[in-house]
Amino acid sequence: MLVTGSSGLIGSEVCTHFSKLGHKIYGVDNNQRAIFFGPQGDTSWRLKELQKTLPLFEHHEVDIRDRIKVLDLIKQIKPDAIVHTAAQPSHDKAASIPFDDFDVNAVGTLNLLEATRQFCLESPFVHMSTNKVYGDAPNGIKLKEHDTRWDFDDPTYANGIPETFSIDQCKHSLFGASKVAADIMVQEYGRYFGMATCCLRGGCLTGPSHSGVELHGFLSYLVKCNIERKTYKIFGYKGKQVRDNIHSEDVVSFIDLFLQNPRSGEVYNLGGGKANSCSIIEAFEICESYSGKKQKYEYIEENRIGDHICYYSDLTKVKKDYPEFAFQNNLESTIKQIIVAQNYKK
């Protein structure tokens, strides 16, 4: 199995899970997060853990933008599955590095797809996409305001945003646009060439292994601020904007099910759903209840470009196609795990 972004949150979880099942893991990562986000985004510590604890793990420091090296590596390895988690993950950062953002997210994905088509056509290809492919279109849904959160006020979206929701004619951020390009290309290789591919349009992916920074990593960064007594910045919407959160272990659990029974050109909204959604101020309250520390924050009236006011995944299709899928971690247990991890890192 080849895993890109193998030192990141989801990639490292994939490596750990499948290595324990006896799979040889070829990890591809060049610690680009340290370049994008500075020392706080550095994931070299996670690579060292993988090399120390996983005897079936083999690291390859390859930049997925390097087409020749990607083609050569996949030709050499011919992996039986590809899990592509590498990305420039911040919609805020993308505006300042548009070429890097598109080259990593869109062109890098194309390089991997074409290498897979040429050298291991039968191998399933899982792509970590994002709910940002929907742009700010969910903000056009009628909303109702509660004391601590916004919520949908349209029964059509009582269970959240489905995969059929439009990704067109809305503002995405440059990050969202580059991920749309990758998402559509993964679908196209599935449909056009008959490859087993799926796009997982993730909500807020999180867990204790996340190296959260201000521009990326909602719960991880929020907890980090709480534990280290730093000021967390809320951007608009009264702090009531809602995200659905999913633990990295649960993401990998779904990936495992897909690889056991792959489909062609599929798309799944894979978040925590309504049950594991929270607003920023609700996340403050949960974090404070377990850490015993009051959250320090600053409110900034202007919202982030393309930010969702309310978003949670409709999991109907996930459960229909893979009825065995079940969450092992809920929102509160996930936050508790992140707090423990942050205290350990101090």
Provide mean pLDDT across the span 151-175.
Answer: 97
Residue 7 token pair: 């030192």
- Domain containing 37 — which CATH number? 3.40.50.720
- Is the per-residue pLDDT at 124 higher than 90? yes
Answer whether residue 344 shows pLDDT above 80.
Answer: no
pLDDT tens digits, 301-342: 999 888 899 999 999 999 999 999 999 999 999 999 999 998
Asked whether residue 212 carries a pLDDT value surpassing 80, the answer given is no
The mean of the pLDDT values for the chain is 96
CA atoms within 13 A of residue 94's CA, in its CB half-sphere = 24
Residues spanned by the domain of 106: 2-345
Judged against a pLDDT cut of 90, whether residue 215 lies above it is answered with no
Whole-number pLDDT of residue 268: 98
Task: Categorize the per-residue pLDDT at 346 as very low, low, confident or very high, splitting at 50, 70 and 90.
Answer: low
Confidence of residue 345 (pLDDT cuts 50, 70, 90): low
Q: What percent of the chain has pLDDT over 90?
A: 90
pLDDT confidence bin for 41, thresholds 50/70/90:
confident
What is the Cα Rg of the chain in Å? 19
Residue 39's pLDDT is: 86
Q: What is d(CA 18, CA 265) in angstroms, rounded to the nearest whole number? A: 23
Q: Which residue has the tokens 């869109």?
A: 106
Domain count, the chain: 1
Q: Give me the pLDDT at residue 217, please.
A: 79
Nearest 10 degrees: Cα torsion 15, 250, 129, 28: -10
